[in-house]
Structure 1
Amino acid sequence: MPVDDPAAATATATAPSAEPAGARGADRGGLPPPARRRRGTGAGTWCAIAFLTLLAVAALTAPLLPLQDPERVDTDALAAGFSSGHWLGTDALGRDVLARTVYGARVSLVVAVGATAVGAAVGTLLGMIAGLGRGWTQAVVMRATDVLLAFPALVLALAVIGAVGPSTLSVTLVIGLLFVPGFVRVVRAPVMSLSQREFVLACRAMGMSTPKLMAREILPNVTAIVVTYAVTMFGIGVMVEGALGFLGVSVPPPSPTWGGMISEGRQVLADHPMVSLTPTLVLVLVVLCANVIGDRLSSLLDIRGAML
C-alpha cells in the first residue's frame, strides 16, 4: 500500500476551510456580520434618547429648577437680550424666554404623549377588529377610517377645538383622534396576515373567543410595529400642537406653549429673534430625535423579522 505524503497531510490540515466566511460568522454570532453591526443602537440614537430624556426631566422638575416665573413680567427688561438675569433674553412683555421654553415643554410633551397613547390604543383595537373581522365589521371600520382621512387634519382640529374650547384635554383628544386612522392601517395589514397563520387557526378551532385571541395571540405580534409607529407619531404630535399654539387654539394663556411663543415673538422678530428662535429650535430637535429613534426601531424590527 502507498504511504501518505507527510507534506500533503500537513498542507491539508492547515488549509483554510472552504466554508464561506459569512456562514462562519453567522454560526458564531447567530447573524451575519453586517446584521450584527446593524444591531448596535448607534451614537446618534443615544444622543436623541439623551436629549428627549433631559428635556422630559427638565419639564417635570421645572418648579424645582432655578428658573424664573414664566408668567412674571419684568418691565425693566422688555424684549431684552442675553443677560445674567435672563440667559436667553425676554419677550415683548418682559417674560423670561428660557423659563417659558422649559415650562412650554410640559404642555407639548403631555399633549404629544397623551395623543399618541389615545391614537395607539383606539387605532390598534380597531385595526385588529378590521383585520380579523369580515363583512360589515371590516367595512364599517375602514369606511370610518376613510372618512377621517378625507378631512384636512388641521381644519378638523380647528373646528373641533373651536366647538369644545381649547384646553389640554381637548387638544390631546383631538390630536389623538387624528392619529387613529394611521394606526388602524398600520395594524390591519399584519393582522390580516396573522389571521391565516396556523397558531391563529388552531386557536379558532379550539373555540377561543375573538377578544381573547386578540389579547393573547395577535397583540403581542403587532406590539413592536405599534411602538415603532408611535414614536414617529409622537414627534408629529409635538409639531401639530405647536401649529395649533401658533394659531392660538392650543392651551390658552397664561400657560406657555412653544407655538404660542413663536407667534408672540413675531412682534420683536427683527430685533430679538431668539424669542421665536429658541422654541423653534427645541421643537425641531424634538421632532428630529423622535424620527431618529423611530427609524432605528424600524431597522431593528426588520432584523428580527428576517430571523423568523
Structure 2
Amino acid sequence: MPADTGLAGTPPPDLAPSSASASAAALSESPRNGTRPLPPNRNRLGTGAWLAVGFLAVLCAAALLAPVLPLEDPTRSDTDALAAGISGDHWLGTDALGRDTLARIVHGARVSLVVGAGATVIGAVVGTVLGMAAGMGRGLLPGVIMRLTDVLLAFPAMIFALAVIGAVGPSTTSVTLVIGLLFVPGFVRIVRAPVLSLSQREFVLSCRAMGMSAPRLMLREILPNILTGIVTYGVTMFGVGVMVEGGLGFLGVSVPPPDPTWGGMIAEGRQVLAEHPMVTLTPTLVLVLVVLCANVVGDRLSARLDMRGAML
C-alpha cells in the first residue's frame, strides 16, 4: 500500500506551491476598501486631453505675463506693415491698421479668459445654491426657482445679453455678469436632479432625523456627492463663455477699444478679408482652439469620473 503522505484532502506537494502562488496573486489583486482599480486605458485623461490642458495652460500663462513679455504694444500701428504676413518683426503678421497680431491675441486672451472663467464661477455658485434649494426645499420655493429657470432658458440668450449690456454699458464686469447669469439655469438643472435623488438616501434621512440644519446638510453631505458633476460641466461652460464673449466682441458690445478682444479682431479683419484672410483667420483659429480644448478636457474628465463611479 502507498505510504500515507498527510491529511486527507491535502494537495500533492508538486501542486501546493502553484496554488499558494495563485492565492497570493489573487489576494494582491483583490480590491482594497471595497473598490476595484480602473482599467489602464481609463486611469488617465489621455494624450489629447493633456495636450488641450497644456495649450490652455500656456495661453493662461501668456495672458497673465503679457505686460512683461517682449511683445509689441497691441495699440501701436506700424504704417510700413499694414495687413502684413508673418515676418521676423511680426510673428503672426499685423492687422489692417498695422498692429501686431500676436500682441493683440495675447492681450485679448486676458479679456476672453477672465470673462470665461468669471462667468463660469458665477454660474456655478449661483446655480448650485439655487439647484440645491430646488432639490431639497419644500413648499413654493422649488416651483418658483424652476419656473424662473424655465423663463430664462426660453429667452434668447444673445438678445438678453445685448439688451442688458446696452443698458449698463460694455465692460469686462458687465459682460462677465451677464454671461454668468445666462449660465445659471444650466447649473440649476445639473444640480437639482442628483439632489432630488440624494435627498431620499439613508444618510440624508439620518442627518435630518438627528436635527442637522438644511444649510449644513447641503454643505457637508450633499455638495461633496455632486461636486464632480459641477466641475466637469463647468469646464465645458468655460469654453462656451469664451465663445459668447467672442460673439459679443464681434458685435461690438464687449470690452470697448482700444483694448483688444478676439471677437473685435475678427470683426475688424472683415475689411480686408478678401485680400488678407489671415487677419481674420488667426484670431478665429485661436478662439476655436480654446473652445475645442475646453470641450475635450470636459468630455474626457466626465468620462473618467463616470467610469470611476461605475467601478466603485
TM-score with structure 1 length normalisation?
Answer: 0.91
Does the 8 A contact of 1:73 with 1:95 survive in 2? yes
214 and 74 in structure 1: CA distance in 2 versus 1, 3 angstrom threshold: same
Provide the rounded CA distance (Å) in 2 between the counterparts of 1:24 and 1:193. 36
Q: Which amino acid aligns with 2:36?
A: L
Q: Percent identity?
A: 71
Q: Does 1:127 align with 2:128?
A: no
| Partner in structure 2 of residue 9 of structure 1 | 12
Distance 1:69 1:196 in 2: 59
**Which residue of 1 is the match for residue 107 of structure 2?**
103
Using the TM superposition, name which of 184-193 and 286-295 deviates more.
Answer: 286-295
In the alignment, is residue 62 of structure 1 matched against residue 66 of structure 2?
yes
- CA deviation profile, 1:163-205 (whole Å, cap 9, x unmatched): 1111101100000001000000000011111111111111111
1:233 to 219, 231, 237: 237
1:87 match:
91
1:291 pairs, out of 282, 295, 300, with: 295
User: When the two structures are superposed, what TM-score results if normalisation uses the length of structure 2?
Assistant: 0.90
Aligned twin of 1:31: 36
After superposing on structure 2, the runs of 4+ consecutive aligned residues of structure 1 that deviate more than 2 Å are 1-5, 8-17, 23-26, 28-32, 34-37
Deviation at 1:300, TM superposition (A): 2.2
Q: Is 1:221 the counterpart of 2:257 in the alignment? A: no
Question: Structure 2 CA distance, aligned partners of 1:209 and 1:260?
Answer: 49
1:181 alignment partner AA: P
Q: 1:303 offset after TM fit, Å?
A: 2.6
Counterpart in 1 of 2:49?
A: 45
CA–CA distance in structure 2, aligned partners of residues 90 and 16 of structure 1 = 73
The answer to whether the Cα contact below 8 Å between 1:25 and 1:31 also exists between their aligned partners in 2 is: no
Which residue is 1:149 aligned to? 153
Q: Which amino acid aligns with 1:27?
A: S
RMSD of aligned Cα (Å):
2.4
User: Aligned equivalents of 1:63 and 1:204: distance in 2?
Assistant: 53
**CA distance in 2: counterparts of 1:3 and 1:155, whole angstroms:** 95
Contact 1:35 1:303 in 2 (8 A): no
Structure 2: 5+ residue stretches without partners: 6-10
Of 82-91 and 114-123, the range deviating more from structure 2:
82-91
Question: Residues of 2 paired with 1:286 and 1:71: CA distance?
Answer: 24
Cα deviation, 1:138-176, whole Å, max 9, x if unaligned, reads 100000000000011111111111111111011000000
| 1:1-44 deviation per Cα after TM superposition (whole angstroms, max 9, x unaligned) | 76689xx9367547789x9xxx8896268536x63430122211
Asked whether the 8 Å contact 1:104–1:258 carries over to 2, the reply is yes
Unaligned runs of 5+ in 1: none
Equivalence for 1:180:
184
